[in-house]
Amino acid sequence: MPQYAEPLSIRMTRTLLDVIRDCPEYAVGSRHSDDRVFHPDGTTGSDRSVSTLWKAPPAFIEHIFASICVLENSTIERALRRFFRGAIGLNLLSVLSSEAAA
């Protein structure tokens, strides 16, 4: 599968960006990431979307998401791909060799 040629860190970053991305084409009630993330309600035991816990997401969460979204920049992604390509391969080899020894 060609997507596995990419470093794991790049694939995980893309997945995280997909999770936090707003999706205006989705139905109302699932367009924003806090509508699609659920947390157990302590009183009823059922799951509630995180958006029901606040009127608007806290500012620090918005800042964190904005910082993560910088990673969508193609120049930054290319730099991360170059940086992690060798490191991830070495880590994967060491994990595989330690599992084989066990």
What local confidence, expressed as pLDDT, does residue 72 receive?
Answer: 86
What local confidence, expressed as pLDDT, does residue 31 receive?
Answer: 92
The DSSP 8-state label assigned to residue 32 in this structure reads S
What local confidence, expressed as pLDDT, does residue 76 receive?
Answer: 86
Per-block average pLDDT, block size 10, for the chain (102 residues)?
A: 77 88 92 92 90 90 90 85 63 48 54
Domain ranges of the chain: 2-101
CA angle 90, 86, 19 (to 5 degrees): 95
pTM of the full structure: 0.64
What local confidence, expressed as pLDDT, does residue 92 receive?
Answer: 46
What local confidence, expressed as pLDDT, does residue 98 receive?
Answer: 52
Do residues 7 and 78 lie in contact, with contact meaning Cβ atoms separated by under 8 Å?
Answer: no
In the three-class reduction of DSSP (H, G, I as helix; E, B as strand; rest coil), residue 2 is classed as: helix
